[in-house]
């Protein structure tokens, strides 16, 4: 089963060799590695071409700079001969043998449509493993896990999974967004007819806080995320089930963002108006309250019922707590 590996490439010259070498040295050899030079101004494009000359499994696409989503979308039409699909960011790298583990499991379990694995968060010379317990979830349970956002939930990152290509055929990333993985993952799980399986293996090394990386931003701007969700709802017009899932992703994301805003008074004063308007709109739609604890379920309901009251109470509680 040929596995397509899509790698967007832009201004990552110091990391690119490590990334590509970790893919091509995998023990699973039946790969199609699509390197997308997204108009990188450094030597990345030439490095990609060098790999293509040396290894017939490598295909290089050169395009004008359009961002991560644009680069991934450019590669997707070139995966038609591959029953499996995955992604790698070009400043990250793989652990040996992870594709063999993933593909072997999918070959032996045709009921599984999406297979996930853990990763290491790498900061300088330190590495922290992020693993899920081994488990198999139905489509509905996988969606619930993804939307719950607990410590053991499924993450949004598309590079931590291998997909059967039929699941994501025709599905693209919204270009220009900083949160492209969130809605793509939601739609992939929603479109899946089979199960999700998690391997308790850290197969991917995720480099955080490199210069210029999105992860250096402390308080994120979620406006793009909500625009992504709204666009995806339009794609599923009339689908009440998808609306509930998508709106759950929206209200859950808003809930966590308001908790961050409460801890950042300066940001709250400048941003709260926009996000409050979103809260009033989102609460009119159906959503699922997947929080496990009773207290969180109550707080979540209070937040949607009266966001201003929730924020006032939370900030007052924080001040009282800090005094003690």
3-class DSSP assignment, residue 197: strand
Relative to beta strand 112-123, strand 126-130 is antiparallel
Pairing of strands 161-164, 84-87: antiparallel
Query: Distance (Å, rounded) from C-alpha 169 to C-alpha 78?
Result: 11
DSSP string, 35-70: EEEES-SSSHHHHHHHHHHH-TTEEEEEE----HHH
* Among 273, 80, 224, 89, residue whose Cα is nearest residue 166: 80
Closest CA to 181 of 1, 4, 3, 6: 6
293 Cβ contact partners less than 8 Å away, ≥ 6 residues apart:
none
User: Cα 317–321–324 angle (5° rounding)?
Assistant: 150
Q: What pLDDT is attached to residue 65?
A: 97
pLDDT tens string 251-261: 888 888 877 77
Cα–Cα distance for residue pair 189/110, rounded to 1 Å: 16
How far CA 174 is from CA of 34, 72, 90, 159, in Å, comes to 20, 10, 19, 16
Residue 158, phi-psi category: left (phi > 0), alpha (psi -120 to 50), beta (remainder):
alpha
- What region, left, alpha or beta, does residue 40 occupy, with left being phi > 0 and alpha being psi -120 to 50 degrees? beta
Task: Report in angstroms the alpha-carbon separations of 88 from 93, 149, 157, 204.
Answer: 8, 23, 10, 9
3-class DSSP assignment, residue 200? strand
Helices (H), the chain: 13-24, 44-54, 68-75, 98-108, 139-148, 165-168, 180-191, 223-235, 240-262, 265-282, 294-305, 307-323
Q: Note the Cα 104 to chain centre separation in Å.
A: 24
Residue range(s) in the chain whose domain bears CATH number 3.90.550.10:
3-216
pLDDT, residue 290, reads 65
Protein fold of 3-216: Spore Coat Polysaccharide Biosynthesis Protein SpsA; Chain A (3.90.550)
* pLDDT tens, the chain, 324 aa long: 999 999 999 999 999 999 999 999 999 999 999 999 999 999 999 999 999 999 999 999 999 999 999 999 999 999 999 999 999 999 999 999 999 999 999 999 999 999 999 999 999 889 999 998 999 999 999 999 999 865 557 899 999 999 999 999 999 999 988 899 999 999 999 999 999 999 999 999 999 865 555 444 467 788 899 999 999 999 999 999 999 999 999 988 888 887 777 777 676 667 777 777 788 788 888 888 766 667 767 777 777 777 777 767 766 666 666 555
CB 179 within 8 A of CB 222: yes
């Amino acid at each position: 089963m040929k596995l397509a590996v899509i790698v967007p490439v832009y201004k990552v010259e110091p990391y690119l060799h490590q990334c590509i070498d970790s893919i091509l040295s995998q023990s699973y050899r039946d790969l199609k590695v699509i390197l997308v030079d997204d108009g990188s101004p450094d030597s990345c494009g030439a490095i990609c071409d060098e790999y293509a000359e040396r290894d017939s499994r490598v295909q290089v696409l050169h395009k004008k700079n359009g961002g991560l989503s644009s680069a991934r979308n450019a590669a997707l039409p070139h995966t038609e001969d591959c029953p499996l699909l995955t992604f790698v960011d070009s400043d990250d790298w793989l652990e040996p043998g992870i594709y063999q583990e993933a593909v072997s499991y999918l070959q032996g379990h045709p009921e599984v449509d999406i297979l996930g694995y853990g990763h290491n968060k790498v900061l300088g010379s330190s590495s922290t493993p992020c693993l899920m317990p081994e488990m198999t979830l139905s489509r509905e349970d996988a969606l619930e896990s993804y939307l719950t956002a607990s410590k053991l939930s499924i993450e949004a990152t598309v590079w931590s999974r291998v997909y059967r290509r039929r699941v994501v055929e025709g599905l693209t990333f919204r270009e220009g967004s900083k949160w492209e993985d969130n809605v793509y993952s939601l739609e992939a799980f929603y479109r899946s007819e089979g199960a999700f399986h998690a391997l308790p293996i850290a197969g991917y090394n995720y480099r955080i806080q490199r210069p210029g990386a999105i992860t250096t931003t402390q308080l994120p701007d979620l406006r793009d995320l909500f625009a992504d969700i709204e666009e995806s709802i339009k794609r599923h017009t009339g689908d009440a089930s998808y609306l509930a899932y998508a709106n759950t992703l929206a209200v859950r994301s808003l809930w966590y963002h308001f908790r961050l805003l409460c801890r950042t008074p300066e940001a709250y004063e400048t941003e709260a108006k926009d996000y409050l308007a979103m809260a009033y709109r989102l609460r009119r739609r159906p959503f699922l309250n997947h929080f496990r604890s009773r207290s969180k379920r109550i707080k979540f309901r209070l937040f949607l019922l009266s966001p201003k009251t929730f924020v006032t109470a939370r900030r007052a509680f924080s001040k009282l707590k800090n005094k003690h």
